[in-house]
Amino acid sequence: MIKYLAKRLARSVITLIIIISIVFILLRLMPIEGYFQNFDKLTKEQIHTGIVNMGLDKPVPIQLKNFFIQLLHGDLGVSRIYRANVPITKILSGKIPISLTLGGISLFLSLVLGIPLGTLMARSKGKFWDKFGTAFIVFIQAVPAAVYYLFIQVYGHDFFGFSMLFSKDNFATWILPIISLSLGNIAYYSMWLRRYMVDESNKDYVKLAVAKGVSSKNIMMKHIFRNAFVPMIQYLPSSFLNTIIGSIYVESLYSVPGMGGLLVDVVKRQDNTMVQAIVILFACVGILGLILGDILMTIIDPRISFSKKGGAR
């Protein structure tokens, strides 16, 4: 296991280095306006001085090397436009807790509703809960998220009086964003859990248990559910981390001062250093989620061993 994780970590570091390099180079091809506040009001001499001070006059490989050295010291640089000359780490430290709380609650709600729904669908194939769950999943998959996000916002405000704008001090304003963030994961968890449970129910060990007279309830919960839940464990860390870093659309829709809305804002303002830092953060979160998923799988099911031949994903 340790050997496998070491290899995965090494591959992840290489992948992250490649992603950072590509993002860094692409942003260096963008107009230099993204590095200056009030660019139109600056003289050529001021622009040249700023470029020299930021090291943008050096060759790109040298700039990239210096940037990696900064990253090793935990320095993501400073914002140039969004909040001029403020360290990016300071800006993110005020945004991440909001997205973390909002995303954590929505993911908890997704698990509480999605897993029971998937289980009910598997236990009642062709009956009410299966048809209800299938209709819900088809709706979520078929309708663009932006459409039902708007419906939730508009009708939540008109019929229930919920505010359209988020306020961290008023929990009532959290309800609509949490519901919006939860729907996709509820559909995802219920769909895959049902599929895995139906697959497990057709296996030989289930038929043997039925032949021995084991009750269907015990078979479903002690064997089928447990074995079907293991593959889903692999994706929980990724979905959790991707949720807590914020939904770009939901946070923008409700003016949530979190990570998702921040990305939209800095892209609009063309703050290149901020865009660079947030994209790198998102990449780190995605890679970390995959590694944590593998670790959780081995903890939940000791039969899985990535150190053995054929055990790795």
- Per residue in 77-127, pLDDT (tens digit) is 888 888 888 899 899 888 888 888 888 888 889 989 999 999 899 888 888
Per DSSP, what are the bridge partners of residue 87?
78
pLDDT in tens, 225-269: 777 777 777 777 767 666 665 577 888 888 888 887 788 788 888
Q: What are phi and psi of 78, to 5 degrees?
A: -125, 150
Q: Quote the crossing angle between the two packed helices 175-201 and 236-244, to the nearest 10°.
A: 170
Angstrom distance (rounded) from CA 154 to CA 191: 28
Is the domain defined by 91-300 classed in CATH 1.10.3720.10? yes
Average pLDDT in the 41-58 region?
Answer: 83
Residue 96 CA: distances (Å) to CA of 16, 38, 256, 282, 293: 21, 28, 11, 12, 22
Angstrom distance (rounded) from CA 202 to CA 191: 17
What is the DSSP code (8-state) at residue 171?
Answer: G
Give the residue extent of every domain in the chain: 2-72, 91-300
Residue 135 has pLDDT above 90, yes or no: yes
Angstrom distance (rounded) from CA 188 to CA 196: 12
